[in-house]
Structure 1
Amino acid sequence: MSEYQQFLQERDQIDILLQKGFKIKHITENLSGAFVEFEKRENHDGESDNETLHITTPEARKYFSIIMIKQQTEEA
């Protein structure tokens, strides 16, 4: 698979989680990419769902960085 196709796949995975109401909670970066932890808070019982994606392409890392910045400015 080309790197561009890999980026498209990772971007789509991020977009699907965002459409389901998840928000970026935590990011751990290392030499093999970034592990992005998403959280969806459930209002009625206080529990939350968590999902983690392993992002490897530089373009997808830039993509989630922009999303994270937007989330922080929306909360402020």
Structure 2
Amino acid sequence: MASYEEFLEEKSKIDELVEKGYRIGKVEENLSGAFVDFERPNEKKQSEKKQLHILNPDTRKYFSNLLIAQQKNK
């Protein structure tokens, strides 16, 4: 897969979760990419969690910017 296509696919997955009300909870980076944990509180005061494995460096920059914006809006 071309790098740009990979970026668009990963970005759309992140955008979909953000649109559904998920927020970035935890990021773990290693040599095989970044594992980004998303959390969304539900009615029962529990968190729904999803994890994405991000490989593309441009997508890593994208979610980093989202995380900074999320922290500013707390």
Tell me the TM-score normalised to structure 1 length: 0.95
User: Where does structure 1 differ by over 4 angstroms across 4 or more consecutive aligned residues?
Assistant: none
Number of aligned pairs?
Answer: 74
Partner of 2:66: 67
Quote the offset at 1:48 in angstroms.
1.1
- Cα distance in 2 between the residues matched to 1:66 and 1:13: 16
SS at match of 1:21: coil
- Cα distance in 1 between the residues matched to 2:32 and 2:44: 36
- Cα distance in 2 between the residues matched to 1:59 and 1:13: 14
Q: Which runs of 5+ in 1 are unaligned?
A: none
Identical amino acids, percent of aligned pairs: 46
Q: Deviations over 1:4-60 (max 9, x none)?
A: 100000000000000000000000000010000000011x32111000000000000
Q: Which runs of 5+ in 2 are unaligned?
A: none
Tell me the TM-score normalised to structure 2 length: 0.98
Please, what is the CA RMSD of the aligned residues? Answer: 0.5
